[in-house]
Amino acid sequence: MRASISAFESFGDPIRKNVRLTLRLASLHHDGMNIVRTAVLMAALSALFLFVGFLIGGGAWVMIAFLFATATNLFSYWNSDRVLLSMYGARQVDETTAPDLVRTVHQLVEQAGLPMPKVYIVQNDQPNAFATGRNPQHAAVCVTSGLLARVNGEELAGVLAHELSHVRNRDTLTMTITATIAGAVAMLANFAFFVGGDGRRNPLGFIGLILVAVMAPIAAMVVQMAVSRTREFEADRMGAEISGRPLWLASALEKIDRAAAVTDNPQADSNPATAHMFIVNPLHGGALAGLFSSHPSTEERIARLRAMADRPPVQAGPWA
């Protein structure tokens, strides 16, 4: 891979600019479709919030739930990089301590037209990776030691391109908004369960109110996870376009999924709410894992990437 990566350095600035423009123009249609899907899911989540609020009587309870959920999630959004990296004991690296890793990130951000993020490594046997930060200017990309031990340089580039796509798409902001609405729905459901709703405005009666209190948070979680899965598909697609090599990411996903299934991630087990941040779900789910999973099935992700590889590439990537 060293020879193929070094070819990037021969690109002139005009060629790099043309490649970025081609990447952006080719992505507009896909971006639009994914924005529509995400917007529809978030609209459904908002409608659920309003519906539950109406059933419990609306007014002050709705406002309290929304403001509390907004405040807690805004704090998480603004401090996401520091909180998450500290939670996993991440160690920042540079060109001296991890030259190959940092060099690959640098070449990919040049291709994607992004500012250089901070780069971290987590001492964890499970191969995985995540990106965090409230915007591209405050982004961080983190990989586990298990990932570095199990993938080759090309597969690592595919993984990093995927994570940089999350940064470029501002998926941290999208998931924060989604979590805010889902959290507000859960709070309203708790109010309904413990306080009770306004019987004069509730057409379902007391039993119906209890059912709503139980089912609404589950429905909100299902929609929230659907948004997360949509963003993962988009990051796969855009990451493959940034690297120009869909099969690099497909090969990495296959290795990561197989190893992650038999390797525990103690930090993720202790903080399951962070599972959606990883490239592959770090948790080991049960029979209903597909419905409540924050990630699409790895098999479908690999199939889509292989289909991309069968088509003419959108652009050559930095390793033409």
Task: Give the tens place of pLDDT for each residue, 257-287.
Answer: 999 999 999 988 888 878 888 999 998 765 4
Region of poorest pLDDT, from 137-141, 179-183, 195-199: 195-199
**pTM (2 decimals)?**
0.74
- Give the C-alpha distances (Å, rounded to integers) separating 198 from 204, 213, 247, 297: 11, 14, 56, 42
Helices (H), the chain: 2-6, 13-55, 60-78, 80-87, 99-112, 145-150, 153-168, 171-194, 205-243, 246-260, 266-270, 289-292, 298-310
pLDDT tens string 44-81: 766 776 676 666 665 666 677 677 767 766 776 677 67
Q: Which residues are catalytic?
A: 163
pLDDT, mean over the chain: 78
The domain segmentation of the chain, as residue ranges, is: 2-310
